Amino acid sequence: MQISALWANIFAINKADQSLEKLKNILVKKDNSISPYSFFKELQESSPTVFNKIVRRNDLFDIEESLSNWKREYSSYVDKCFELSILLSSINSAEAKYYLEKGVTEGILRHGWHKDIIVSYYLIEGLEIIWNRNWLTIVDKRNITEQVFNLAIKVSMITDGDETWRSPYRVIKVVSQHDLSFAENLRQELERNHEIRKSNSLAITPILIGKIDHGYLIYDIKEEMKKYRIEYDYEGVPRREIFEEKFIIYLKLAESELYSESDRKLAFDEAYELINDSQRMGVKYAFKDEDLKEEKQRYEKLCAKYDKTFNLKYSTTQDYKERRTPVISEQEFVNEVKKSISKNAIFGKYRKLKNYKNGIILKEYDSWKVLIDKTYEVYENISLFTDYLESCYYPDSDFMTANSSYLYKALAAALDNINTRQEILSYLYENSGHGGFINIMKAFELLEDKNTCLSIYKRAIKFCELIVY
């Protein structure tokens, strides 16, 4: 790039004539070390007069062609559209305008560069619903999965990777629970792709779990485990991934009723020694609560079963939701709602629900149904409920409050009531947000509404294709 800029400045201080144009044609070739884009950009900035006299429209074709085969992050694609527009501004004003508008348009509705999880979490979560339900043939499921898998790969390529680089592995994990041969095909496809960040462990573990669930021979499982590759940090200390992934497999084997007691005991012993090895080697950040708390709890029970000292530790800080004791239980709150017969009484119940100090968590569909039905009975509308959803940023977000992860059940209850259905639909039309489709899909799944559920998901795929490709 520095050489290109140097040559551009040499051109800029010379007289624009036929000989200079011939020299340009010699220099700006694919087999030379001159970057055409950098050369033309620097020349236009240094001497617009020289640029206008010696640069022709066909000189920019290669730059234009690179846009049709773009494989880098999308933000730089948008930048390139604007830069090409500038180069064309003195050559062809109509084409310059085209690329200016293209840059604006492409930049408005695109997948986010950093921590956009619409594909890597929401779309894959919807795929899990598709596989869990017997709504489609295996061929249709595989076709939809290919669409999502390709989107996941593309997203991992066009973003900074934060929250997205694991996307293809999440797809494999979903499929491994239902279709092992297809999951293996996806894993091999991923291995052949040399343009994305790889994780040997993340591709192997879900397939092995699927094989354990199907009762594959212990010998076959252990042979597959040999595919795990150990990686080291800059200090030469093994990284934690291989220890955690192997631990998950040994734990699964030790708990499975498909294997003999002796095989299960042997798997537990392997897990126990694996943990000791990780501690002896000084592996950093291994077996953290935020990653493996449930697995650690299951492992602790096995330690008690086999009379072994629990050789892992839990974090000293307890999860906020876990340490809170509800002031009002779910059933107590539901009973209070049932007794409410005035507007002030119902309004007060929503105030109680919003007050996090009360610790009220409604986990059951029937609890939400009582609240919504009673709200409509007293108010003849459910505006209090939709106001509550809006305060929780729902359905776009399902983590803002302790109740957020259960609000799809509330949606289902409102959708299932003929008196409240239109009002909740009107709310959803205006407030679905970036990733709200997955929570709406969960609500219709709960209602066993196959057609609406599939329609939502197929539209979500089309939208994701629009913002990714």
What pLDDT shows up at residue 199?
74
Across residues 45-68, what is the average pLDDT? Answer: 79
What pLDDT shows up at residue 427?
96
Across residues 425-447, what is the average pLDDT? Answer: 93
In a domain, 278, yes or no: yes
Across residues 361-384, what is the average pLDDT? Answer: 97
Residues 344, 286 share a domain: no
* Residue 232 phi, psi dihedral angles, 5° rounding: -125, 150
In a domain, 438, yes or no: no
The most confident of 4-8, 51-55, 173-177, by mean pLDDT: 173-177
Q: Mean pLDDT, the chain, as a whole number?
A: 88
Query: Does 319 have pLDDT greater than 60?
Result: no
Residues 296, 277 share a domain: yes
The SS3 assignment for 238 reads strand
What pLDDT shows up at residue 321?
47
| C-beta separation of 196 from 168 below 8 A | yes
* Lowest pLDDT segment from 9-18, 323-332, 349-358: 9-18
Domain boundary among 108, 128, 146: 108
Residues 313, 205 share a domain: yes
Residues 334, 301 share a domain: no
Query: Which helix or strand (DSSP H or E) is residue 110 part of?
Result: none
Name which residue leads in pLDDT, 372 or 51.
372
pLDDT in tens, 218-253: 999 999 999 998 889 889 999 999 999 999 999 999
What pLDDT shows up at residue 322?
47
Residues 265, 208 share a domain: yes
pLDDT in tens, 250-282: 999 999 999 999 999 999 999 999 999 999 999
* Lowest pLDDT segment from 68-82, 101-115, 315-329: 315-329
Domain boundary among 317, 334, 354: 317
Residues 339, 412 share a domain: yes
In a domain, 353, yes or no: yes
Confidence at 404, pLDDT banded by 50, 70, 90: very high
In a domain, 186, yes or no: no
> Tokens 């299932």 — which residue?
416
What pLDDT shows up at residue 388?
96
What pLDDT shows up at residue 304?
96
What pLDDT shows up at residue 327?
82
Query: Does 450 have pLDDT greater than 50?
Result: yes
Residues 355, 374 share a domain: yes
Residues 307, 364 share a domain: no
Residues 291, 207 share a domain: yes
Across residues 151-161, what is the average pLDDT? Answer: 85
Q: CA–CA separation, 181 vs 66, rounded Å?
A: 37
* Lowest pLDDT segment from 83-92, 159-168, 449-458: 159-168
- The candidate with the shortest Cα–Cα distance to 405, out of 432, 439, 440, is 439
What pLDDT shows up at residue 324?
58
Range of the domain at 255: 199-317
Domain boundary among 83, 108, 133: 108
Query: Percent of the chain beyond pLDDT 70?
Result: 91
| C-beta separation of 445 from 439 below 8 A | no
In a domain, 156, yes or no: no
> Tokens 């709890």 — which residue?
297
pLDDT in tens, 109-140: 777 777 788 899 999 999 999 999 989 999 99
Number of domains into which the chain is organized: 3
Q: CA–CA separation, 119 vs 163, rounded Å?
A: 10
In a domain, 182, yes or no: no
Residues 300, 224 share a domain: yes
Query: Does 3 have pLDDT greater than 80?
Result: no
Residues 307, 332 share a domain: no
Across residues 373-390, what is the average pLDDT? Answer: 96
Among left, alpha and beta (phi > 0; psi -120 to 50; other), residue 115 is left
What pLDDT shows up at residue 18?
65
Name which residue leads in pLDDT, 116 or 75.
116
Query: Does 87 have pLDDT greater than 90?
Result: no
Across residues 210-214, what is the average pLDDT? Answer: 94
Across residues 3-17, what is the average pLDDT? Answer: 69
In a domain, 59, yes or no: yes
| Residue 289 half-sphere exposure toward CB, CA atoms < 13 A | 7
Q: What is the pTM of this model?
A: 0.76
Buried b (16+ CB within 10 A) or exposed e, 116-150: bbbbbbbbbbbbbbbbeeeeeeeeebbebbebbbb
In a domain, 161, yes or no: no
Residues 340, 300 share a domain: no
What pLDDT shows up at residue 127?
97
